Amino acid sequence: MKWFLILWFVPVALIASWYGLSYHDINFGFIMLSRQVHDLVFQVYGEMLGMPPDAIPPLLLKALVVDSLIVLAIACFRWRKQIRAWVQSRREAFAERPAEPAYPELPVESEESLSRAP
């Protein structure tokens, strides 16, 4: 499972960092991080897919979100016993805790202190 998560995370992190840095033209002297390469890459992808280059980044984001949700579902299914044990322990700890009032009680002033007000 560790390698599965690593093999998912590394490409996602690389594409996200490249996109963010090249979109804002933070290139640190590397040509691959420049805005010109960013525009050229999406122009080439747009020509290959037959769509405008501006439509590709939202599709890329949607693909990354869907892939991440699938990986999260696989991880949750894989760790379901540990998750169930953790939730059960949290429920037991919450049930054993004494109930706290929703609002702390304020000190009640006596009638004498109210009548002596300046």
From residue 26, give the alpha-carbon distance in Å to each of 21, 49, 86, 107.
5, 27, 43, 58
* Side chain identity at residue 80, one-letter code: R
Q: What is the largest CA-CA distance in the chain?
A: 86
Judge if pTM exceeds 0.75. no
Domain boundaries, the chain: 1-81
If the chain, 118 residues long, is cut into consecutive pieces of 10 residues, what is the mean pLDDT of each piece? 92 94 90 92 95 94 95 93 91 77 66 58
Say what the pLDDT of residue 109 is. Answer: 63
> Given this model, what pLDDT does residue 6 score?
93
* Ramachandran quadrant class, 100 (left: phi over 0; alpha: psi -120 to 50; beta: rest): beta
Query: CA-CA distance, 103 to 12, in Å (whole number)?
Result: 46
- pLDDT value for 96: 78
